[in-house]
Structure 1
Amino acid sequence: MAAEDRAFYLEHQEIVYESDEDYQYEEVPIDEDFVELDDDLDAAVRTIRESQEDTQATEKKSAPPRASVSTKPEVVDDFVRNFLVKMNLYKTLDYFQTEWYELQQKGELNEEDIGVVPDIYTKNQQLDSEVKHLRKEVDKYKEAALKAKDTYVKLRKERDYHRMHHKRVVQEKNKLITDIKRLKKHYTSYEPTLRQLKQKYEVAMKEKMLTKLERDRAMGQVTGLQSTLRNMEAYRGTSAEKTSELSARSTRLCEKGTVLYVDKEGRGPTQRAVAEERRRSKTMEESLPPTSSHPNDTPFPPDTGVNPYLTQVKAPSGHLTRTGGFRLSTTFQAHSNAVSSVAVHPRKQILATTSDDHTWKLWAIPSGDIIMTGEGHTDWVSDCDFHPSGAKLATASGDTTVKIWDFAKAECVHTFMDHTHAVWGCSWHSCGDFLATCSMDNTSKVWDLNSLRCRFTLRGHADSVNSIEFLPFSNTLATCSADKTLSLWDARTGLCAQTFYGHMHSINHCVFNLKGDTIASCDSYGIIKLWDVRTVAPMTTIDVGPYPANRVAFDPSGMVLAIGSNDATIKMYEVATGQITPLVGHEDGVQGLVFDKKGDYLVSGGSDLTVRIWS
């Protein structure tokens, strides 16, 4: 049958799952009725012959009768010739033929001498040929029998080996099943204890967090009391300068409705005045930031809310107002592992990149020539930010440290190590004296670069804080967390001013626009939200999922929002019209995005190890 004429049929079968633990393996029984083969080779050959004869007899009975053929007897001279040829006696054959024909011509040969060969000779010749043939068959069958015997012995040994191995496997399997059942029973007895321990652990963690909050509050109160004591010591002074200052302050307090009692000699406040002043000082200290306790601490600049860059921003040209105006112009491989973030120098055409390969690098753009490489972190580097002067770079890493790098010295000048888990992001204050960082330890910190210490720890998020950013020329900080909330903080006091609720999943990144009136945030399900800072309410919700949105970036005009997605694309969202245009070029998730100061080009870095410039 040809291959194309064959028919194949598929049958649906359901496989029922059965647990191996309750299955009882059966041993393979030994065949007790096994019959040994007869080692007598002659008997084996005789058996084969008998089977062949029976087969031939059956074929003869079933075959139709054939036509009979008469055999003509062989003459003497042909018999002699055949015999000589068979024996390779060719010279003798020539002599025989010569003499035979001569005698035949002379007529000297009698008729009875040259007749047919007697039957006995023919029969003997046939029997001789048959004997030779049978001997060959016997030798062949003997060889086959020997091979069969060797194969049988080999198979029998293998059978015995596999039978023993099967018994051992069955015993081990039954033993393992028994052990597993015992372990499951033993583990089940521990489940209530583990549940209780888990509950105790959660309660202990809550108490720990509450204790930290109480400690911070107590430290603030202690600082306030110390300030009050210093004020009281000042009141007790007897110099004329202090007396006049006290009189002036009394006048101010009276104008505000506070009564200050002075003794008849005018030497200072009475006990009632002191108590009233202490109460008022305590109230003021709770509302104002604590006094610096380090001589090198830097005072925070006044929060005027004026951003000088706003006057320099021009509305983008016609082709840039459309989100599809950006095109890929430059691509280069930046690191040997995923690029985690990118940052543009505030005044020069220099780009900083960080990577999971534990390094950061500086590049000349748009040429892509490498300028500097920084090595020092012992784990992936998650984020970086240029100092406002452009002379330093801050990097955050998974090794729980934040490093400050000085380009003039080409080295790390300081390392902050107060975080207890990986640090996700960092952001410089516009004055350059303060650095804010966020971490997986659920906190954010504000560092003073002059005293080289943590000024405030921002506690309030219940999960990892994934990004942090200073509002330019302001003391306001924005943080987003895996607890699905967004918070605004006052860096001068370390207190939370506002909290935004609305995301249903972990928030990966948030960013201010240049005006500071809008915040964009993205979460792990590709949901983008624009928030109005003044009303503390969402303005717009954009769904670019289901892939996570890793980073967002406003252009300087605030009219275009770039969204880096895990599907290897950048979504360009036009705020005014709601139009979304994808930029395709990366081969893996986009992890970093940044516009230049003028909004002429966009730089992106991704998990495909490359940096791409869109202009």
Structure 2
Amino acid sequence: MAEAAGSEAAFCLQNVTITDDSKDDYQCEEVSADDEFSLQEEDEDLSTALQAIQEQAEDAEILTSQSVLTSEKSVCEVPEAMDDFFCNFLVRLGMSRTLDCFQTEWYELIERGVLTVKDAGLVPTVYTHNQHLQAENMSLKKDLENYKLAANKTKEALLKMQKERDFHRMHHRRVVQEKNRLICDMKRLKAHYASYEPVLKQLSEKYETMLKQKMLTSLERDKAVGQVTGLQAVLENLDSGGVKQISEAKVHDCTRKKDFEGPTQKALREARQQKIIIAASSSSDPVKDAEKKMGKRHLKDSEFPVDTEVNTYLECAKEHTQPLKSGEYQLSNILKVHDLAVSCLALHPRKDIVVTGSDDHLWKMWALPDGNLLMTGEGHTDWLSGCCFRPSGTQLVTSSGDTTVRIWDLSRRGCILTLKGHARAVHGCSWHSRGDFVASASMDSTSKIWDVNSERCRYTLRGHKDSVNSIEFLPFSSTVLTSSADKTLSLWDSRTGLRVYTFHGHLHPCNHATFNTKGDAVASCDSSGVLKLWDMRKLVPILSIDAGPHPANQVAFDQSDHNTGVPMEATVCIWH
């Protein structure tokens, strides 16, 4: 401590000013002029000695400074002064007013001489070291707490990751087990299918063989029926003594090989050889011939219409020759009618009533324009594909994906007739303008003409090679129009069940076809959005419009026959 004090005192400088009025204990003597010379010599010797002493002191100071600089202790290891320690302590704690009081009192005592630097001394090194250790200890504790928090978070994250790992591992094992089980099931099913494949092949071949035999048998039966019918007519004429002319076609049908001729055929051949003149002529009726081929007629069968009836819709069409302008149409009401998609719609022929069919297996009847629910029909077990009112408006026919056609009596509020016969889903239905016949189109490539009075199928229209998507009667006629997925349209005679003409021209499956009011034109649309207009007199296409690429679902004429509308995906296209 003394060395530190001495070294510190060696570097302290003090400026002392001596005034003339200062009072001290020193006495000054006057020097006479006689002794001036001797004093000068003494002063020279004294100045030389003082200079030597000063040089020695400077050398000693240099040596001490070098020793201090070369000592092992650095400047930072020098103990702190007591006043600096207190000042720093108060500054660290933010005690500014206490610091001001301390400095005032401290320096006042030093100025008075009551307190000196030596008395105050320096702060012990051990205390300073302990203070540094305490601060370091506090910082280490804070670091330790932070490390503990980080360790806890890491531990929680590790546990969470372990749980997720275990969960995903169990899920992976379960997926692997299900995969192995499905692979085993697929192998077993393949083996099971392979065991049945020869049987299926054999059954399919047997079915084709039986189908061919059935077709041959039906052809031979029809031929035999024709022969028997011709022979009966000849025998009746021979017995009655009348004379009748036989057409060459019937004679050709009745001829057989000589090895298989019976007594009746021999007699007929001999009669021809004897040139029996048959003069009476009779025209064959195709409707009666078809009925004879079908067998005995039912007592309740309806008479098929003729093509000479007057179309009463033409009078109504004359009143609508001038359609409304686009600005005169406006939305009046939006009806939430079904829970699922609406698949078909039909307007009542006499009242402001509409019927809607949906994929929810129901049809509903609504009053326009308020949208009040009048009736709900339940009975179908699959989606409804079509609906149509009877011309009188008292009954409704519906077709469904459950392969049935149902007729509903609106006054009884229930189904009065279920027509079964199609093998697959029925895509559409249509009621004849006389109300005695219903036509249906099915996915099994056939169409059927149903007699409502006798409640049976009169004819099955076969000829399309793919699903029949729509069917429609020409009003007040026996002509039926069908559209099919085999890209063709067909005209049928409902009196005979025979196809009259086939329209070729669409490159994609036809979705719908309809007549105009006059019946001299047909409009059709396909799955590629192509609309075609056909001339019924020349049986050729007169217009083709491509509105694709979305499919066209249906086509319709307005009552004036001047405009045609096609509903497509989210749009309705109208052509004039």
Please say whether Structure 1 and Structure 2 have the same fold, judged by a TM-score greater than 0.5: yes
Offset of 1:383 from its aligned partner? Answer: 0.6
| Separation (CA, whole Å) in 2 of partners of 1:133 and 1:299 | 115
Q: Hey, what does 1:573 align to over in structure 2? A: 575
**Structure with higher helix content:** 2
Q: Hey, what does 2:500 align to over in structure 1? A: 497
**Residue aligned with 1:550, SS:** coil
Q: Hey, what does 2:267 align to over in structure 1? A: 271
**Residue aligned with 1:370, SS:** strand
Q: Hey, what does 2:332 align to over in structure 1? A: 330
User: CA 1:508 to 1:141, structure 2 compared with 1: closer, same or farther past 3 Å?
Assistant: closer
TM-score (norm 2): 0.64
User: CA 1:198 to 1:149, structure 2 compared with 1: closer, same or farther past 3 Å?
Assistant: same
Q: Deviations over 1:197-220 (max 9, x none)?
A: 999999788767756655654564
**Residue aligned with 2:559, SS:** coil
Mark the runs of 5 or more structure 2 residues left unpaired by the alignment: 1-74, 96-100, 252-263
Which residue, out of 262, 271, 296, partners 1:293? 296
User: CA 1:498 to 1:210, structure 2 compared with 1: closer, same or farther past 3 Å?
Assistant: farther
Q: Is the 8 A contact 1:422 1:441 kept in 2?
A: yes
Letter in 1 for 2:289: L
Offset of 1:482 from its aligned partner? Answer: 0.4
| Separation (CA, whole Å) in 2 of partners of 1:408 and 1:164 | 68
Q: Hey, what does 1:414 align to over in structure 2? A: 417
Q: Hey, what does 2:391 align to over in structure 1? A: 388
Offset of 1:315 from its aligned partner? Answer: 3.3
Q: Is the 8 A contact 1:477 1:489 kept in 2?
A: yes
Q: Hey, what does 1:253 align to over in structure 2? A: 245
Deviation larger for 546-555 or 155-164: 155-164
Q: Hey, what does 1:563 align to over in structure 2? A: 566
**Residue aligned with 1:328, SS:** coil
Aligned length: 463
Higher relative contact order (CA 8 A, sep 6+): 1
User: CA 1:307 to 1:271, structure 2 compared with 1: closer, same or farther past 3 Å?
Assistant: same
Q: Is the 8 A contact 2:509 2:526 kept in 1?
A: yes
Q: Deviations over 1:287-344 (max 9, x none)?
A: 921335253342433513333315514435675187x476234333232222222222
Q: Is the 8 A contact 1:321 1:560 kept in 2?
A: no
Which residue, out of 117, 120, 143, partners 2:119? 117
Q: Is the 8 A contact 1:224 1:286 kept in 2?
A: no
Q: Hey, what does 1:436 align to over in structure 2? A: 439
Offset of 1:486 from its aligned partner? Answer: 0.8
**Residue aligned with 1:540, SS:** strand
Q: Is the 8 A contact 1:220 1:290 kept in 2?
A: no
Offset of 1:559 from its aligned partner? Answer: 2.4
| Separation (CA, whole Å) in 2 of partners of 1:179 and 1:489 | 55
Letter in 1 for 2:491: L
**Residue aligned with 1:332, SS:** coil
Q: Hey, what does 1:426 align to over in structure 2? A: 429
Alignment of 1:84-483 (within 5 A): 116-117=118-119, 119=121, 121-143=123-145, 214=216, 217=219, 220-221=222-223, 224=226, 227=229, 246-247=240-241, 250-253=242-245, 271-272=267-268, 288-291=289-292, 292-309=295-312, 311-315=314-318, 319-320=322-323, 324=326, 327-333=329-335, 334-483=337-486
Offset of 1:349 from its aligned partner? Answer: 2.8
Alignment of 1:65-76 (within 5 A): 73-74=81-82
**Residue aligned with 1:117, SS:** helix
Q: Is the 8 A contact 2:305 2:476 kept in 1?
A: no
**Residue aligned with 2:268, SS:** helix
TM-score (norm 1): 0.60
User: CA 1:320 to 1:185, structure 2 compared with 1: closer, same or farther past 3 Å?
Assistant: same
Q: Deviations over 1:15-65 (max 9, x none)?
A: xxxxxxxxxxxxxxxxxxxxxxxxxxxxxxxxxxxxxxxxxxxxxxxxxxx
Offset of 1:497 from its aligned partner? Answer: 1.3
Q: Is the 8 A contact 1:442 1:459 kept in 2?
A: yes
Q: Hey, what does 1:608 align to over in structure 2? A: none
Offset of 1:549 from its aligned partner? Answer: 0.9
Indicate whether 1:508 and 2:517 are aligned.
no
Q: Deviations over 1:354-404 (max 9, x none)?
A: 222211122233443332221111111111111122211110001111000
Q: Deviations over 1:554-612 (max 9, x none)?
A: 2233222222222x2222222xxxxxxxxxxxxxxxxxxxxxxxxxxxxxxxxxxxxxx
What percent identity do the matched residue pairs reach? 35
Q: Is the 8 A contact 1:487 1:496 kept in 2?
A: yes
Q: Hey, what does 1:551 align to over in structure 2? A: 554
Larger radius of gyration: 2
Indicate whether 1:538 and 2:534 are aligned.
no
Q: Deviations over 1:74-112 (max 9, x none)?
A: 479x979x99xx9x9xxxxx9xx99xx9xx9xxxxx968
User: CA 1:406 to 1:258, structure 2 compared with 1: closer, same or farther past 3 Å?
Assistant: closer
User: CA 1:560 to 1:133, structure 2 compared with 1: closer, same or farther past 3 Å?
Assistant: closer
